Amino acid sequence: MKKLMYTVLTLCVISMSCKEKKIERELDMNNPFFSKPETPYGVPAFDQIKTEHYLPAFEEAMLQQKEEIEAIVNNKEKPTFENTIEALDYSGELLNTVALVFFNMCETNNSDEMIAIADTISPKLAAHSDDISLNPKLFERVKTVYEQKDKSLNPEQQRLLEETYKNFVRGGANIPVEKQARFREINEELSKLTLKFGNNVLAATNAYKMVIEDEKDLAGLPESLKAAAAETANQSDDTKGKWVFTIHNPSLLPFLQFADNRAKREEIWRAYSNRCIGGEFDNTAIISKIVKLRAERAQILGFKTHADFVLDERMAKTPTAVYDLLQKVWNPALAKAKEELEEYQQLANKEKPKFDIKPWDWRYYTEKVRKAKYELNDEVIRPYFKLENVRDGIFMICKELYGLTFKENADIPTYDPEAVAYEVIDNGNVIGILYMDYFTRSSKRSGAWMTEFRGQHKTKDNENVIPIISLVLNFSRPTADMPCLLNFDETETFFHEFGHGLHGLLSNCKYRSLAGTNVTRDFVELPSQIMENWARHPEVLKLYAKHYISGESIPDELIKKIEAAGNYGQGFINTELIAASFLDMDYHVLENPTISDPIAFENEALAKYGLIPEIISRYRSPYFQHIFTSSTGYSAGYYSYTWSAVLDADAFEVFKQNGLFDKATATSFRKNILEKGNTEDPALLYKAFRKQEPSIEPLLRNRGLLPEEK
């Protein structure tokens, strides 16, 4: 054990016995990581943390966990669940805190300084992790406890034991000694490569700006988008009085939807789709190395491919199961996409001069046909989806389902001035802290995600530690004349991420490593995707979709149009999604990957499945961050969105049968899914809620992909 002794010089001397040697070191107590934060609910002291604090905190945190591990290894008592498995799970608390703050800040407030720190610390963290996973004495203790088959352990303890043992094996504990050096080299190299990949994508995305000087080139664009582009332009002296569009989604996607100028659509689409292919931020060589190293590591661990390694602990289990599911959605989706293409081409044939539909035309003609068929477009929808109204609608749904309320607290420090902090209250008790960070900025990576600064868990004394959850979004900023108005895709994204947030906030587990969203990738999207169902349901729309000026609820006529258009464009949506999933799998089922040209590999892979040239994969390889920006991440796992979609569509059938806000159904979902984390096998958790195996039919029906509904 270590003891902390504070001196009047604000220094801390740490003394401990380790292998009969006394080690002393001094810590600068001006570093906020080295003392308990004096903040509401113990949230990180963001207002005190500076970039120079991270490296010393990381170094000290790794030393502390190393000493904790040595204490476990050198324990003279026989290995037990408490002195080995539980002690291991409680180790590294400081490291967990520092890493969560640092890497979350890298995602939302990145800078050259942060990148430099990440470059320095990432390989050290990889080595530190390997030191634990490859510690033979530690594994021997873990294995001893595992083989004891102690029947006195409760189900959560048994799950922790099984997961701990499995993680050691997957972390290399059983590999031959002569291969361990190479295993370490691979992990270190992957940590550097995946970090570089993500930094390149962020830099390439921020580097591009399309400057428009002639207002005629803005034809077709909604006034809100033009106003946002003008505000962006006015931020720089060299573009004042002009319009600037970027390849961040809030700027890119509506431009592709509405811009009449086909040449400009092509220009911005090519900038988007060719990111990180050649040039300063090239990722192609990095991809080749990552795929090769992953395959080599998997084989050292005894698996045929990286996909086999990843899927061994997922619900899908095998690549064959993944491909089978994807194909079931791909075939009807591709057929529907071809029908959509034919319809769009008929319109293009009426243009003068006529032309063949290209990828940069797809969203434009989708919008044209949707407007003609359903008298519906984003500019009709947006006024009813003011950001604050959508947020309040989500809060209302959470209260109806789970009894939760959300109270803004300006006294809670935030990691960025734009982030807003809320107390999450259940039955009068604060059960979590929720940050929401809405708007795009150059220091924030693209996309939307849920993360945490502290996961829910219970201390050794069984005191509950509440979670600190953050939802990070990339919506367009409000302008001087217009609030932030969301389109329907953005609205569903907000609901989606909030579902992840509930998974973290409502966790009720003992052990940090099993709590909240620490579940398999193909299960983690269930709580998020099921929330989207409430976003679009007519009964719920009437409750939260209100005109931002008049305050009137969305009219029934518009709801009917949204319903009628609900399956419109599903060919494109599902085709680009499944194409990305196929591409991910094809990279990672290779036994001996020697990919000299990832772009050629991508083209050949997608041509094999019959992807039409008018549609590209949702993410092209050089900016496919889900699968290339961490050691594992969503690699061989992008299919998870579709796998979980089967679960969410099937699970929502229960709410449709019993009532959207049926308390018993909501309580069952909370108790069996949201609170349980990874304390049981996810297939068993799902059956405990659903009382039967999931069916794919609700998913295909909801997306209009059943044969009889073509």
CA–CA dist 156, 678 (Å, integer): 9
Contacts of 351 (CB under 8 A, 6+ apart): none
Cα angle: 283, vertex 472, 575; to 5 degrees? 55
Decide: 210 and 272 in contact? Cβ < 8 Å.
no
Instruction: Give 386's DSSP letter.
Output: B
Residue 26 bridge partners (DSSP): 13
Structure tokens at 595: 């990919």
CA–CA dist 153, 80 (Å, integer): 11
Instruction: Give 26's DSSP letter.
Output: E
Task: Let me know if 70 is a catalytic residue.
Answer: no
Identify the active-site residue in 67, 107, 163, 497. 497
Q: Are strands 449-454 and 468-475 parallel, antiparallel or unpaired?
A: antiparallel
Dihedral angle of Cα 109, 111, 113, 114, to the nearest 10 degrees = 40
Closest CA to 656 of 577, 483, 540, 527: 540
CA–CA dist 411, 657 (Å, integer): 43
Q: 75 by DSSP, 3-state: which?
A: coil
Backbone angles phi, psi at 244, to 5 degrees: -120, 130
Q: 673 by DSSP, 3-state: which?
A: helix
CA atoms within 13 A on the CB side of 557: 3
Backbone angles phi, psi at 191, to 5 degrees: -60, -35
Decide: 408 and 420 in contact? Cβ < 8 Å.
yes
- Other residues' Cβ atoms within 10 Å of the Cβ of residue 446: 18
- Strand locations in 409-530, DSSP E? 420-426, 429-439, 449-454, 457-458, 464-465, 468-475
Place of tokens 């799970």: 89
CA–CA dist 2, 24 (Å, integer): 11
Decide: 475 and 484 in contact? Cβ < 8 Å.
yes
Residue 40 bridge partners (DSSP): none
Cα angle: 411, vertex 417, 420; to 5 degrees? 55
Give the H or E element holding residue 408: strand 404-408
Cα angle: 86, vertex 87, 88; to 5 degrees? 90
CA–CA dist 174, 397 (Å, integer): 48
> Residues with catalytic annotation?
497
